[in-house]
Each structure stands twice: as C-alpha cells, then as structure tokens.
Structure 1
Amino acid sequence: MKKLSLRLSMLCVMAFSILACNSQSDQIKADLIIKGGTIYTVNDQQPTVEAVAVKNDKIIFAGAEKDLAAYQTEKTQLIDLKGATMTPGLIEGHGHFMGLGYNELNVDLLDTKSYQEIIEKIKIAVANAEPGQWITGRGWHQSKWTEMPDDMVNGFQTHELLSEVSPDNPVYLRHASGHAGFANAKAMQIAGVMPLSKESLNNQEVEGGEIFRDENGNPTGIFNERAMSLITQHIPESTEEKDRKAFDLAVKACYRNGITSFHDAGIGRENIALYQQMKKEGKLGVRIYAMLTGWDKELLEEWYTNGPEIDSANLLTIRSVKLNCDGALGSRGAWLLEEYTDRPGHFGHETLPMEFVKETALNGLKHGFQVCAHAIGDRANREILDRYELAMNESTEKVADHRFRIEHAQHLHPEDIPRFAELGVIPAMQAVHMSSDRPWAIDRLGQKRIEEGAYMWQALLQSGVPIVNGTDVPVEPINPLASYYASVTRKTLEGKPEGGYEPAQKMTREQALRSYTLDAAYGAFEENIKGSIEVGKLADFVVFDQDIMTIPEEKILTTKVLKTIFGGKVVFEQ
C-alpha cells in the first residue's frame, strides 16, 4: 500500500508539474507582437528594443527580435512597423478633458488671428442658433492677433461689434487661457452688468477678479478671473447627451494624437459621475488621473473622509486636488512680485486665499491626497511654495512621498527655482505655452524677468526635479508634438527666432520625451505601471511616421501619428 501510495503521489506531482508548465506556456504566449521599426523605451537600462510582445493589456517582452519565437503562436497578431518609430503612449500631463470635447462641439476660436475673424464665426453660429439660445466658444487670444481693432481698453477689444452681430442671442467667449471671458450686450443684460458712473465704479468690484470698463464706466465685455462667474452662472447647464458626446469626442482626439493617459486638471461632481459611468459601461477609453476641483469645499471634505480612489483597473484614479491660485499672463491676471511692465501699478490677482492653500496641503498630507496648485506669476509660485513648506513642517503626518505639484510654474523668481527640489514639489509645465506666449510675454515682464525666471525647464531639471509636460488643452490644441517641438527648440511654431528664445533652457530630446511619458507617470504616482516600455507595464504605445529623436527639428511638426495602441489594442490607425 505504501508503494502504491508513493506512486500515486509521484503521479500527482508529475501531473501538477505538467499542468503548471502548460499554464506557464499559455501565459507567455503573446496576443500581439510589434517589430520592424525603432522602438524607444524610455528605460535607461535598455533605451531601444527591436520588438515588443503583449499579453492581454501588459508587456511581456521587450528586447531583440531573435528572441520572439517563444512568445508567438499562429493566433498572435503581428504589427510590422515598416521602419516607423514607436514610443510609450503619451500622457497629457495637464489638460481639461471635457474642455477638449466641448471645444469640438462649441465655437472653436483657437485659430482666430483677429477680432474680425471672431465676428465672422459668431455670425455663422447666430444663423444656426435658436432665438435666445446662448452661444459659447473658447480660444481667442488678443496677444496672438495679427491685426488689432481700433477700440481697445486695457489691451482688450470691446463688445460693440460682437453685440451688433448677435443682438438677441447672448454670447460668451472664453479666453484661450480660461482666465478671462468676452460677453456681448445681451449676455451682460441677463447678468445685470450695467454701465456705471465714474463716481460709482466700485459698486460692482469682484474680489479676485475684474470687470473691464471704459473711462465712462461702460462695461467693455471683458470679465477677468473670478468676475467671469457673473456671466457664467447664467449659462444653462449642459445636458447628459451633450456631455457624453463631448466625452466621446475627447477620447477620439486623444487617440488621434497618440495620447493614452490624461491628467484632468480640476473636475467637479458632474464630471466624476460621468467618468464613473463611462468606466462602468466600458467606454472610458483613456486612463484618467483626475484632480478634484478646489472650488467645491464640500466635495473635498467628502473625499477626505472617504480617501483616494486608486483604480486597480488603471482607468480612473482620483487622488489629487486642484487649486486655482492666480490668473494668466495674457489677461494680466498672473500674480507678480513686481508690477506689470505694460500696466504700471497692476500686479495681477490672488484668486484663492493662500490660507486655503496651506489648509488643503495639510489635509492632503493627512488624508493621502496630492495637491496641484495653479501658479503662473512669480508671486503665486512663491506663496504656494511657502504654504507647502509650512504645511510640511507643521504636519504630524510624515509623508515623504507627497509629490505635491505646481501647475504651470511659468514665471519664477530665481531664488525659488531650487526650492522645488528641496521640497519635493513637481513642476507641471506646458512647453507649448512658451511658443505661444514668449513673443508677447516680454511686454508683460520685461527682459530681465524673462531671462532669469520664465519657462526655466533646464534649470529645474538640473536642480533635480522631473517636469510633467502637456498642453493645457483647450488653452492650446492637444497636439503633443507642438509641446515636444517647443521643448527642444524654444521657438514659436512658426520656427522663430533662429536658435530659440533663451536657448540654455532647452530640453534635450530624451528629456522632452521623458516629460511626456515616464516623468508624467511619476507626477501621478504611476511610474511603476506606465510611462516606459518594460515588462509588466501597460501596453500603451504610439507609432510615428518619423523618428522624432533624430529628424531635423523643423520636421518635428510635420510628424504624424500612424497608430495609437491602448491596452494592447489598436484604437487609432491613420
């Protein structure tokens, strides 16, 4: 009996071993193999590979083509790059996902070069609108116009032409920066914004914002920073159908641009519910790292109580808070230490009390939430760094890896540049803003401040912090190649000036690609699951028709996305 029992035991062990081997064999067989081109991994230990194999949504092999045989079966899908270039899927490090979708639904003004072009677009919108229907749009930027209107107040156009083409439909057009808006007379009438006498101009002051008026007290139609709410509170809320359509358009726009992950910079209850529903229906489509809007204190308290939501499916993670602490440079809302060069006596706006920044930082440390504070001007950046530091020093919660961020960090005082590394604060900077803003930003700041503290990419990198790149869509078009080009050339998208602005601050191509992949993943605590092509990481890739790491810089902007692969599935093909 003992021998029989021993034999049975041995047979069981052998059977188990065979089953285990078969199981292992099944596990390593690839669903997808990609080869035949240049593959940049953003892995310092193995910068390029010849082939990649994928099982389900994960990478199971990255290496030499000769080693593929063990992973391939007759069922394995093959993608031959045919000499094209592949990188990890790109990560939009700071954008507004629904803003991207709605920019495709509403009046898109990003390409307008004059006030008259805006008027022509609104004429078309009025012709297609119902009587009394609100007309909304976004994307105009007066500093980028090639011709200026005759009548301007504080460097901005006035509403008369807009009101003339739309006398009965209220119109509200958000500035490209999102920090100012332009309304016609009908919209202002609905909002109750009326002309004032010189003696009573202070009667409609808005804390943290400004209604632009002419010398006679008449509103010009421009609403800066928090004054925008006077108009926006009257715009009808969107419908569920429109929200879902905008969401779908945003996903498709990401795919067209090789973007597989998106840091959504500030969302409220409605968007959270929409994203959760889209995930439930299997329609999320892009990996979203969402920041809770800091405007809703009740929402924050609820999340502090319940804690972060870190998605095991790697689709929707909510573990950060977005604070809007100053305005934009274009609208002169950025909060500066010294007055604007082109508007003496004006320093911009503190749009959120700094005490609330400290309070939020303390809550973040206590409850496990990253804090991401918008700051463009040098004073806003300094004040936020100060509050972060105070919170870190006062907190009883010892959080070594908080990864607090400053969104934009566009203009810094030289003394504050090393503080990012000292405090472990990540700058999330959108390189394309340099291309768009630098030609006129010098008028706002003057040469000294520009040279010493504006768009200081290399100085920050050399200090020891990563940079998270992006576009701030819909402030800029979502095209990541525009930000990549700006990162490595410091030129406008028209290729000027020769040699680039402040060329010592250029990123290398390796740094620029990393800022859109692995460093962006780091900025969301996700560097272990995405951002580079390594075994065990998510199979998110983008395929370009040119080698962006070696082609002449003038060809970068002509590069096209051939394929976007999300979780091992081809979701876009040129």
Structure 2
Amino acid sequence: MFRLACLACAIFSSGLTAAPVVVSDIKGYGFNSQRQLQQFSVLVFDEQSGKVLARGDNSLLAKYKDARQLNGGGKTLLPGLIDGHGHVLGLGQNLAQVELRGSQSEQEAVARVAAFAQANQDAPWIVGRGWNQVLWPSNAFPSSASLDEAISDKPVYLERIDAHAGWANSKALALAGISKDSIDPPGGEIVRDANGNPTGVLIDNAMLLVEQHIPTPDNAAKVRALNAAFDHLLALGITSVHDAGVDSDTVKLYQQLAGEQKLPMRIYPMLSARDPQLPLWLEAGIIDDPTDYLDIRSVKIYGDGALGSRGAALIEPYSDKPEQKGLLVTEPDKLTQIMQMTIAAGFQTNVHAIGDLANRLVLDRFEQLVPEDKRAASRHRIEHAQIVSPKDIPRFAKLQVLPAMQAVHATSDKNMAGDRLGVARLRGAYAWRSFIDQGSIIVGGSDFPVELANAFHGIHASVTRQSQDNQPVGGWLPEQKLSLTEALRSFTVDAAYGAFQEDSMGTLAPGSWADFIIIDRDIYQIPSEQLWRVEVEQTFVHGKQVFAK
C-alpha cells in the first residue's frame, strides 16, 4: 500500500486536535458548481468537520505548510461514488443467500441451490436470487419440477435477477396455497402450463403470495445484513446510496445507526409507497440531516414490472408474445392517489417505470399534479426510464422530471430487448444520449443487487455500450453513448443533484464533504474498454478512511 494509506490510518486513529490535512501528488478529478470537470494535484480537507477546504496545485502547500501532509504517490483521486438507485438491505441479505447470477442453465441453477441447501441444513427456507432464463439455452422460464427433484422437504424460493419474478418449488407453492384454481392477483401473474397448472414461476404482485410466508428476519439479522452491505459498497468506492423503496422498520434501523454514529456511509432512503406507515412519515415532514448521512425526503412508488419477465407495461404488445402488454403493479387510479399525496406533502416523488406505457402514465400525472412553477424545485424522478416512447422523452425536460437510469441494464438486456420490443421501440430505449442532449440530468445507479454494485461497470457501459467482453463491436445502439465525463457525473454530482445534495457532495469543491476514493489507474488515460476493471484502493467518507485494500 502506498504512503497515503499508512499515514491516513495513523492520523485517523490518533486523538490529536483537528487540523487541515493536505493530500498532494495526486491526479485529482472533481467538478465545479457548473458541473464542469476540474483537475487538481492537491486536496485539502479538515478532518474534524469532514469538509474540503481547498483544491488546486502545489501552491497550496505553502499556504498549508503546517498541515498534516499525505503523499498520494501519483495515484488518481475521484469524488466518492454515489449510486442513485440500489437496495441496501437486499444486497446484504443477498450476500448470505444462494447466488444464481451467471448460471448458464436451469440445471446449473438447481445444482447451486442443492449445494447451498446441503451446506445450510438448518435453514427453514432456501432463498436465493439472480437467475435469468434469457441466458439459458432454453430461453424459457424454469419450473418447480426441477427444484422438486433436488429439494422437496423444505420450501425453496428464488427471485429472478430483476426481482420481478420468483421461482418456487412445490413445497413453497403449497404453503402459499397456490393451485390450479388460484386466481391471478391484480398486477401479477401465476405462470401456468398448457393444462393450467402453476409452473412455479410468479410474476410481480403474484410473488407476494409466497413471499409473505418466508420468515421475517429480526432487527439484529437486518443490522448484520446492512453492515455486510456497507462493507461491500465502501470497498467499491460507493460513499452514498439512494436506497430505493425502504420500509419503516428499515428506516428506523438507519435512524438508530445514525444516532449511534454507526452509519459508515451516506444513505438517501426513498420511503416505500407500500408501507402502511407512509402517511405518518409524510405528516412528520422532511428530515434534513445537516451531516447528510440520512436525509429523508423522498418516496418510491411502483409503476410496472420489468422487461425480462415481460412485466414492463407497454403501449403495444410484446413483439415476442403478442398476447401480453405487461403489468401495472399499481393501478392508475391508485397511482394518481399516491403521487398526489406525496407531492402535496412536499416529498420528492420517485416512480418506478420501465415500459413506455408506465413512463407515459407517470409523466401524465406529473404534468397534472405539479404546478409549472414548482417543477424545477421538486426534482421528481422516474426510476429506470428504460423504454420511453420517443415523443415522451422531451416531456422529461419540459416537466423537469429527472431520469434515474442504470447503464448496466442496457448491456445486460441487449440480447433480449430487441426480441421483446422490436426495432422501432428501441429508438426510445436506454436512451441516455437523447436525455443528455435535451438537458436532462441523469441520476446514475446500478439497481444492485439486480446488477453488481460496481459503479465502474456502469461507467464502462455508459461510455462503450458494450459488455465486458467488448460486444457488440462498436457498441449496442451506439448513438446513445455518453462521454466519460458525462458518465462520471452521473455517478457523482448528478446523482447528488437527484437528492438535493449537489452543494455538499459529488464535486470535491471547497465546502463539500471530503468523500473521495483512490483508484488504481487514471480513468482518463486508459482505453475505455478497461473502465470496468478499475479497482478502488481506498475510500474516505467525511474525511475518515473507511476502506483500504
């Protein structure tokens, strides 16, 4: 480890009086108040307040000659990365479940489940996540029959990679009372075979039929999962997360951790619209934390499902399944009611919308419910904005609605999106360049644990429109590529803007929080295809080192 790590450990473990800290010999990149890229070789911050004091060149060394000196050894320093859409508790829990991401067949997925069950024989349920039938030779949904062959004596429930479909064995279906006679719930589908029997796959709201029977972890287990997620994220250089859809119990755990000064990173929780206590949170009003560790001022509402499970709500039928148009998991009247309630309370309203119909319905309601003179200040968001009718894209700018998008979804979905949508609809799909060119600010994120929680994967996807094996040549829908600076902005100052925090984080400008990372290579000096390989060597939050490789 280079000298900065060693000195930082000594400094932050000492009980000495606070003083400025100077980090020199760095390749620093940040932004100014106009979101323009700024380079610097010296960063000065105060270890007690946790704020940046100055940045610039070696002339600062004389001004701060009595400060503690850290030598960066020529390493690259960036603002701490901000994931504008993730699921922290889900990530922590996922780290202790069956990992099905990357399984190449239904049989391989079942084998992983069987191995996990063998190693966790005391577990009352076998739970996992990450399967994706699009990657399998069959390209077909799995069945309970294959799971039953491996495990029939205890319930098994496995979420699809996008968390919009579940795969259950017969034991889990029986516990949930799901049979041939079961009726699909509103906004959900029990997938059935030719004889009408449940296959074991449940889409969107039908997933709740099984999920309500899975034992609920107690608070101690949740805290363990949160801490596991914090460690994982900080090791990836993520210093702040917009936690998309958090129930009251989890928000209260965040408040407890923050009160005990045990929150090692900044969390911007979106209160779940499904939580029965939401009206009480709205009545209590916005919670503006002066340290920005836990600002509570937004609500996550659920519009439709996901593309991979054909739950994304489309205006026209799916190209590869003409009898389906997707699912609205919140009925239009209910959507209007919830959006009206959150907007009236002065909370930022962030609505999950993947399909073009869902995006249009949400835009219609923002147009109806938000007065023109309050649009800019409200910073309402559409989470995902994944498939948008080309004529609706300009409405984001007109209504000043922020698209909160996840670049890795494009490179993950490229092999099936054309099949689902057809060529014409791809003109408005994963359309980052179209949004940027009209002046929209993209809130970048990963949607972990749907995708891996690595922002450099998203930056790479934004710039190349390629998978990590450089496919397709030239990029998928390459006209939608972003520049490296635009991609970096989406995971720093622009993500901060999506949480009303651009003045305090994401830039490393004087007065902002000293949240920064040291990485193993200069992203502006390497081929773009290598961006996903960047590794974080150190992470600092509030001027304190919270991770060292």
TM-score range normalised by the length of the shorter chain? over 0.9
**For residue 414 of structure 2, what is the amino acid of its counterpart?**
R
The structure with the largest alpha-carbon Rg is 1
Q: Percentage identity across aligned positions?
A: 42
Aligned residue in 2 for 1:143? 134
- Scaled by the length of structure 2, the TM-score of the pair is 0.93
Residue 259, structure 1, aligned to residue 235, structure 2: no
- Three-state SS of the structure 2 residue aligned to 1:461 is helix
Which residue identity lines up with residue 60 of structure 1 in the other structure?
L
| Residues 272-281 or 478-487, more deviating | 272-281
Instruction: Flag as ranges the 4+ runs of structure 1 deviating above 4 A.
Output: 397-400
1:398 CA drift (Å): 4.7
2-structure distance, mates of 1:97, 1:449: 32
CA distance in 1, matches of 2:449, 2:190: 23
Structure 1 residue 443, shift from structure 2 partner:
0.6
Per-residue deviation, 1:425: 0.1
Q: Could you say if the C-alpha distance between residues 495 and 190 of structure 1 is closer, same or farther in structure 2, counting changes exceeding 3 Å?
A: same
Matched, 1:38 2:27: yes
Equivalents in 1 of 2:122, 2:52: separation in Å?
55
CA deviation after TM superposition for structure 1 residue 547, in Å: 1.2
Asked if structure 1 preserves the Cα contact closer than 8 Å seen for 2:385 and 2:403, the reply is yes
Give the match for residue 188 of structure 2.
209
Q: Does 1:283 align with 2:262?
A: yes
1:169 to 138, 143, 154: 154
The equivalences for 1:52-71 within 5 A come to: 52-55=43-46, 56=48, 57-71=50-64
Q: CA deviation at 1:357?
A: 2.8
* Structure 1 vs Structure 2 CA RMSD: 1.7
CA distance in 2, matches of 1:46, 1:439: 34
Q: What aligned pairs does 1:512-531 form with structure 2 within 5 A after superposition?
A: 512-531=487-506
1:244 aligns with 2:233: no
Distance 1:556 1:570, change over 3 A: same
Contact 1:131 1:168 in 2 (8 A): no
SS where residue 205 of structure 1 aligns? coil
Shift of 1:70: 2.4
Name whichever of 104-113 and 251-260 sits farther off. 104-113
Q: Structure 1 residues 519-528 or 306-315, which shifts more?
A: 306-315
Q: CA offset at residue 83 of structure 1?
A: 2.1
Cα deviations across residues 41-86 of structure 1 (Å, max 9, x unaligned)? 1225661011101102000011112222322436x2x432222211
8 Å Cα contact 2:45-2:51 kept in structure 1: yes
- Residue 464 of structure 1: how far off its partner (Å): 1.1
Query: In 2 relative to 1, CA 45–414 (structure 1 residues): closer, same or farther, beyond 3 Å?
Result: closer
1:224-257 alpha-carbon deviations (Å, 9 max, x no partner): 0100011001001002222111111111111111
CA distance in 1, matches of 2:207, 2:509: 46
- 1:386 pairs with 2:364: yes
Instruction: State yes or no: 1:376 paired with 2:369.
Output: no
Q: Which amino acid in the other structure matches residue 272 of structure 1? A: V
2:113 corresponds in structure 1 to 122
Q: Which residue of 2 aligns with 1:235?
A: 214
Q: Deviation at 1:205?
A: 1.8
Contact kept in structure 1, 2:23 and 2:70, CA below 8 Å? yes
CA contact (8 A) 1:99 1:474 kept: yes
User: In 2, are the aligned partners of 1:510 and 1:549 still within 8 Å (CA)?
Assistant: no
- SS of the residue aligned with 1:283? coil
The match for 1:188 is: 173
Q: Deviations over 1:258-302 (max 9, x none)?
A: 000000000011101111111122111110000010112x42210
Q: What aligned pairs does 1:87-486 form with structure 2 within 5 A after superposition?
A: 87-130=78-121, 133-145=124-136, 147-148=137-138, 155-196=140-181, 203-296=182-275, 298-393=276-371, 398=374, 400-450=376-426, 452-486=427-461
Amino acid at match of 1:107: V
Worse-matched range after superposition: 56-65 or 111-120: 111-120
CA distance, structure 1, for counterparts of residue 503 and residue 229 of structure 2: 26
CA offset at residue 220 of structure 1?
Answer: 0.6
Deviation at 1:570, TM superposition (A): 1.3
Question: Structure 1 residue 49 and structure 2 residue 40: aligned?
Answer: yes
Distance (Å, rounded) in 2 between the aligned partners of 1:443 and 1:548: 34
Counterpart amino acid of residue 467 in structure 1 = I
Partner of 2:3: none
Q: What is the alpha-carbon distance in structure 2 between the residues aligned to residue 554 and residue 399 of structure 1?
A: 38
Q: Residue 48 of structure 1 aligns to a residue in which SS?
A: strand
2:533 to 558, 563, 567: 558
Return 5+ residue gaps in structure 1 as ranges.
1-27, 197-202
Q: Distance in 1 between matches of 2:161 and 2:99?
A: 10
CA contact (8 A) 1:358 1:388 kept: no
The answer (yes or no) to whether the contact 2:77–2:519 under 8 Å persists in 1 is yes
Q: Quote the offset at 1:400 in angstroms.
A: 4.4
The one-letter code of the counterpart of 1:111 is G
Alpha-carbon deviation of 1:369? 0.1
Query: Would you say the 8 A contact 2:26–2:40 is kept in 1?
Result: no
In the alignment, which of 74, 95, 102 is matched to residue 83 of structure 1?
A: 74
What SS does the corresponding residue of 2:443 show, helix, strand or coil? Answer: coil
Q: Indicate the larger mover: 361-370 or 502-511.
A: 361-370
* Cα distance in 2 for residues equivalent to 1:449 and 1:342: 13
Task: Evaluate the alpha carbon distance shift between residue 179 and residue 250 of structure 1 in structure 2; reply closer, same or farther with a 3 A threshold.
Answer: same
State the Cα deviation string for residues 5-37 of structure 1 (Å, max 9, x = none).
xxxxxxxxxxxxxxxxxxxxxxx9844221212
Alignment CA distance shift 1:373-1:170 (3 Å): same
Q: Name 1:15's counterpart in structure 2.
A: none
SS of corresponding position for 1:98: helix
2:4 is matched with none
Measured at CA, do residues 110 and 79 of structure 1 come closer, stay the same or move farther in structure 2, by a change above 3 Å? farther
**Quick one: which amino acid aligns to residue 501 of structure 2?**
E
Partners of 1:80 and 1:335 lie apart in 2 by 53
> What is the distance in 2 between the residues matched to 1:365 and 1:195?
42
Q: Given the superposition, is the C-alpha separation of residues 399 and 555 from structure 1 closer, same or farther in structure 2, using an over 3 Å criterion?
A: closer
Length-normalised TM-score, structure 1: 0.89
What amino acid is aligned across from residue 82 of structure 1 in structure 2?
Answer: G
**Count of matched residue positions in the alignment of Structure 1 and Structure 2:** 529
Alpha-carbon displacement from aligned partner over 1:162-200 (angstroms, at most 9, x marks no partner): 11111111000011101110000110111111234xxxx
8 Å contact kept, 2:464–2:529? no
Q: CA deviation at 1:115?
A: 1.3
CA contact (8 A) 2:468 2:529 kept: no
> Partner of 2:515 in structure 1?
540
Give a deviation string over 1:488-507, Cα, whole Å, max 9, x none: 00112221011101111100
- Alpha-carbon distance, 1:559 to partner: 1.5
Q: Go from structure 1 to structure 2 and tell me whether the alpha carbon gap of 1:273 and 1:356 turns closer, same or farther (over 3 Å shift).
A: same
Deviations 1:69-107 (A, max 9, x none): 322436x2x432222211100001000010111111111
Which amino acid letter does the alignment assign opposite residue 506 of structure 1?
Answer: K
Higher alpha-carbon deviation: 219-228 or 358-367: 358-367
Alpha-carbon distance in 2 for matches of 1:398, 1:379: 25
**Aligned residue identity for 1:288:** I
CA distance in 2, matches of 1:118, 1:95: 24
Paired AA for residue 56 in structure 2: G
